[in-house]
């Protein structure tokens, strides 16, 4: 597909904020989808993943789903579903306002050009938001591949807290390219838990920008198990002293799935901590990617950065590409990173089987144990339940 | 009853077991002694179904069923338990969960109802106390950070809870001090009864002071070269294994 006809299926002039959309679409048309020649996309060929698919606007559809109890916001094909949402008053919508175009690459430009809706969460200083589910449902049932590009904004005032549990599911072939803009005031805490469980024919490319003020904490865990091609790209910036960020993730992939976890953590203030534990379990001919970059500004003294990337390969054809990068300009910092690749240990398998545990169950126990370290910081019970169910289902569906 | 007839097995083409004949009737405990490299551990691994060993001849039946045709988990469900010489660490797997999963898998395979967490923990705590193990033994990850003695006691704890009818103890005494040795022996003796049999594999006689065997067999160069009563162990302790290969 050439760069010029990427957005031919869309009538951008009909959407509000046309000028920002035009600017973003011009950028997209000029560059086209990223290929392996783009350094940031060297291991994930988005152009190849979308070749042969004609993108079109996401139609209004109905998608049946079991919904979680409690506070929830439901989006279907990128549109707010008022009837099935139970949103508190601090949850608004990001109408059709076109978003900021300054940061991010081509995928963010696509979102900027197409975003029509999204959730806008605003918590006042000190406000306790409890747990909110963000349920996104999608369906691609026609000739074209719907492009679903919601823009979500989450702003927590000083000392406010929220646990956001996002589940992304769907059916058929579609592109889901959400962008999250997270802003945490001083001492605020956001637990951002994300389950990417999209349709096996879908492409999921999420971008998260998080700005974290002094003393604030951004605690995130993402589980990638759906979509034929996925990328979760997080840009976290620690802007005030003594802030902390956890960017943990796990991938459970099989068949010919491709899953990419990309992180950029920028330390722009002293005494901050960043922690990343990313675990990939790859079966069949699945391919996993981890790219993690830690940037430490010269004023960010006493930075404590940790990054661990581990892959468990369940077959000879599975593959992991791992690219850690450290860019440190301060002189008094502690930064460490590591990567391991391994297979299931036959001694451990035999030990379990010798105790009566059937081979398939023994494997699932060892895989769950492998994931444990990445899941450990997820203490919220509702989130735990979501992830445990997804991990259990992955196994039952035959990895 | 365990019946081993003419069992031969190789690892990487090298013959380790060269025709083992051995019968362990129900209710009896038999000891297998022998020098290093005689094939003692190989015998226990072949009986429990570990990969990497090729059975080239002979047969093994347990209560009439062909043991060698079963998967390791099927052997466990049939009542076979191997106490490992080197128990395996399972980081990220809690000990209580591990044992309960195993127990329930065996119960499922036998068509019995599973135990819930409360019922299981009650039994498990009682077994921990009986084995004089620290209380946190159930909470810790399986064998992770355990001392050598704790690992062996954890094997006996699993055995106590899984209640096998045929236990294979592979050098369970190695690395144990005398107090731990007595505790391990008590764990085995507690299971003794008309429906329980065991093969106690050991290099030294001292374990057999505490687990008194009905029969003692000497394994050398892949064959049983002598069999006798408990007094044979004492004789071996006094005279060593020298010369037995030729017997």
How far apart (Å, rounded) are the C-alpha atoms in residues B117 and A191? 30
Residue B200 main-chain phi, psi, to 5 deg:
-100, 110
* CB contact (8 A) between residue B50 and residue A351: no
Contacts of B78 in chain A (CB under 8 A): none
| Helix runs in chain B, H state only | 40-48, 72-77, 95-109, 117-130, 148-162, 178-191, 207-210, 231-239
Please tell me which of the candidates A358, A365, A373 has its beta carbon nearest to residue B93. Answer: A365
First-residue to last-residue Cα distance in chain A: 33
If you average pLDDT over residues A349-374, what whole number do you get? 95
* CB contact (8 A) between residue A372 and residue B102: no
> Which residue of chain B comes nearest to A352, CA vs CA?
B102
Residue A4 has pLDDT above 70, yes or no: no
How far apart (Å, rounded) are the C-alpha atoms in residues A176 and A224? 14
Q: Which domains does chain B have, with CATH numbers?
A: 2-239 (3.40.50.300)
A352: in domain: no
A114: in domain: yes
In this structure, are residues A371 and A280 in contact, taking their beta carbons and an 8 Å threshold? no
If you average pLDDT over residues A359-363, what whole number do you get? 93
* B51 has a chain A CB within 8 A of its CB: yes
Residue A79's nearest CA partner among A24, A47, A117 is A117
Query: Between A106-114 and A18-31, two packed helices, what is the crossing angle to 10 degrees?
Result: 150
Query: Between B95-109 and B117-130, two packed helices, what is the crossing angle to 10 degrees?
Result: 110
Would you call A322 helix, strand, or coil by DSSP?
A: strand
Provide the Cα torsion A346, A347, A352, A358; round to 10°.
30
- For chain A, give the mean pLDDT: 93
Give the range among A91-100, A145-154, A210-219 with minimum mean pLDDT. Answer: A91-100
Place A324 in a pLDDT band, splitting at 50, 70 and 90: very high
* CB contact (8 A) between residue B48 and residue A347: no
How far apart (Å, rounded) are the C-alpha atoms in residues B32 and B216? 6
Residue A43 has pLDDT above 90, yes or no: yes
Helix (H) or strand (E) holding B80: strand B80-83
Would you call A172 helix, strand, or coil by DSSP?
A: strand
Please tell me which of the candidates B50, B71, B102 has its beta carbon nearest to residue A355. Answer: B102
A370: in domain: no
A182: in domain: yes
Q: Which two tokens stand for residue A368?
A: 């769950």
A364: in domain: no
Please tell me which of the candidates A351, A356, A370 has its beta carbon nearest to residue B77. Answer: A356
> Which residue of chain A comes nearest to B98, CA vs CA?
A352
DSSP assigned state of A397: T
Residue A390 has a CB neighbour count (10 Å cut-off) of: 18
Alpha carbon distances (Å) from A274 to A290, A335, A336, B154: 16, 9, 11, 38
Residue A1 is predicted with a pLDDT of: 42
- Of chain A, the percentage scoring pLDDT greater than 90 comes to 81
Q: Which two tokens stand for residue A80?
A: 């707010």
Compute the half-sphere exposure of residue A44: CA atoms within 13 Å on the CB side of its CA.
Answer: 26
| Better pLDDT: A23 or A281 | A281
Mutate to test the interface with A, among B46, B102, B169 (most CBs of A within 10 A): B102
Number of domains present in the structure of chain A: 1
In this structure, are residues A168 and A204 in contact, taking their beta carbons and an 8 Å threshold? yes
Q: How far is B160 from chain A (nearest CA, A)?
A: 12
Query: How are beta strands A244-253 and A161-172 bridged, if at all?
Result: unpaired
Mutate to test the interface with B, among A355, A361, A388 (most CBs of B within 10 A): A355
* CB contact (8 A) between residue B92 and residue A347: no
Contacts of A358 in chain B (CB under 8 A): 71, 73, 105
How far apart (Å, rounded) are the C-alpha atoms in residues A298 and B59? 72
A84: in domain: yes
Residue A128 has pLDDT above 70, yes or no: yes
* CB contact (8 A) between residue A356 and residue B162: yes
* CB contact (8 A) between residue A366 and residue B90: yes
Best-predicted range by mean pLDDT among A36-50, A218-232, B198-212? A218-232
Q: How far is B105 from chain A (nearest CA, A)?
A: 6
Contacts of A373 in chain B (CB under 8 A): 92
Q: Mark the ranges of chain B whose per-residue pLDDT is less than 70.
A: 243-247
A267: in domain: yes
| Better pLDDT: A94 or A340 | A340
Residue A362 is predicted with a pLDDT of: 95
Compute the half-sphere exposure of residue B203: CA atoms within 13 Å on the CB side of its CA.
Answer: 12
| Better pLDDT: B204 or A348 | A348
Q: Quick one: how far is CA B222 from the chain centroid? A: 18
Q: Which two tokens stand for residue B94?
A: 């809690």
DSSP assigned state of B218: E
Burial environment of residue B36 by CB neighbours within 10 A (0 to 12, 13 to 18, 19 or more): exposed
Residue A5 has pLDDT above 80, yes or no: no
Residue A258's nearest CA partner among A220, A232, A231, A219 is A231
Interface A–B counts its CB contacts (< 8 A) at 77
Residue A100 is predicted with a pLDDT of: 60
Helix (H) or strand (E) holding B15: strand B14-24
A365: in domain: no
Residue A101 is predicted with a pLDDT of: 57
Domain that holds residue A256: 3-345
| Better pLDDT: A95 or A263 | A263
């Amino acid at each position: 597909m050439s760069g010029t006809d990427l957005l031919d299926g869309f009538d951008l002039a009909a959407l509000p904020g046309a000028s920002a959309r035009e600017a973003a679409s011009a950028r997209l048309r000029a560059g086209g989808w990223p290929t392996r020649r783009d350094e940031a996309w060297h291991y994930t060929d988005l152009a190849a993943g979308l070749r042969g698919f004609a993108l079109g606007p996401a139609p209004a559809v109905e998608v049946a789903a079991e919904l979680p109890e409690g506070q929830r916001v439901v989006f279907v094909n990128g549109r707010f579903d008022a009837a099935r949402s139970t949103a508190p008053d601090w949850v608004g919508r990001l109408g059709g306002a076109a978003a900021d175009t300054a940061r991010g690459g081509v995928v963010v430009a696509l979102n900027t050009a197409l975003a029509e809706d999204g959730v806008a969460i605003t918590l006042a200083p000190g406000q306790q938001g409890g747990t909110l589910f963000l349920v996104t449902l999608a369906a691609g049932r026609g000739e074209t591949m719907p492009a679903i590009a919601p823009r979500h904004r989450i702003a927590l005032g000083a000392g406010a807290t929220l646990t956001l549990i996002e589940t992304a599911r769907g059916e058929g072939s579609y592109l889901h390219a959400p962008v999250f803009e997270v802003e945490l005031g001083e001492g605020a805490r956001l637990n951002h838990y994300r389950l990417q469980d999209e349709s096996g024919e879908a492409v999921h490319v999420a971008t998260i920008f998080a700005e974290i003020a002094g003393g604030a904490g951004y605690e995130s865990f993402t589980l990638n198990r759906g979509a034929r091609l996925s990328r979760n790209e997080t840009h976290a910036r620690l802007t005030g002293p003594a802030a902390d960020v956890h960017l943990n993730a796990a991938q459970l992939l099989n068949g010919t799935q491709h899953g990419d976890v990309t992180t950029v953590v920028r330390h722009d203030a002293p005494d901050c901590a960043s922690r990343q534990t990313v675990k990939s379990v790859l079966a069949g001919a699945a391919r996993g990617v981890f790219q993690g970059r830690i940037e430490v500004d010269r004023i960010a003294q006493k930075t404590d950065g940790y990054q661990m990337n581990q892959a468990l390969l369940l077959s000879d054809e599975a593959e992991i590409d791992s690219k850690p990068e450290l860019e440190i300009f301060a002189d008094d910092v502690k930064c460490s990173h590591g990567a391991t690749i391994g297979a299931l240990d036959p001694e451990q398998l035999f030990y379990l089987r010798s105790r009566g545990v059937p081979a398939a169950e023994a494997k699932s126990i060892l895989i769950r144990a492998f994931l444990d370290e990445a899941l450990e910081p997820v203490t919220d019970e509702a989130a735990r339940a979501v992830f445990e169910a997804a991990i259990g289902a992955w196994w039952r569906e035959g990895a | 009853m365990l019946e081993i007839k003419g069992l031969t097995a190789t690892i990487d083409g090298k013959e380790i077991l060269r025709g083992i004949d051995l019968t362990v009737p129900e209710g009896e405990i038999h000891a297998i002694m022998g020098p290093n490299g005689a094939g003692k551990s190989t015998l226990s691994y072949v009986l429990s179904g570990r990969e990497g060993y090729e059975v080239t001849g002979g047969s093994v039946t347990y209560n009439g069923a062909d043991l060698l045709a079963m998967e390791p988990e099927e052997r466990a469900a049939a009542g076979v338990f191997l106490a490992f010489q080197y128990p395996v660490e399972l980081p990220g797997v809690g000990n209580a969960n591990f044992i309960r999963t195993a127990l329930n898998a065996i119960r499922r395979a036998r068509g019995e109802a599973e135990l819930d967490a409360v019922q299981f923990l009650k039994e498990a705590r009682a077994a921990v106390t009986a084995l004089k193990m620290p209380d946190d033994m159930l909470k810790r990850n399986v064998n992770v950070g355990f001392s050598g003695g704790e690992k062996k006691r954890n094997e006996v704890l699993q055995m106590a809870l899984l209640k096998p009818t045929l236990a294979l103890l592979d050098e369970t005494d190695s690395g144990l001090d005398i107090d731990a040795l007595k505790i391990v022996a008590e764990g085995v003796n507690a299971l003794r009864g008309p429906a329980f049999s065991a093969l106690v594999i050991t290099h030294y006689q001292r374990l057999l002071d505490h687990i008194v065997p009905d029969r003692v067999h000497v394994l050398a160069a892949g064959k049983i070269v002598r069999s006798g009563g408990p007094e044979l162990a004492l004789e071996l302790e006094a005279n060593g294994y020298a010369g037995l290969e030729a017997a």
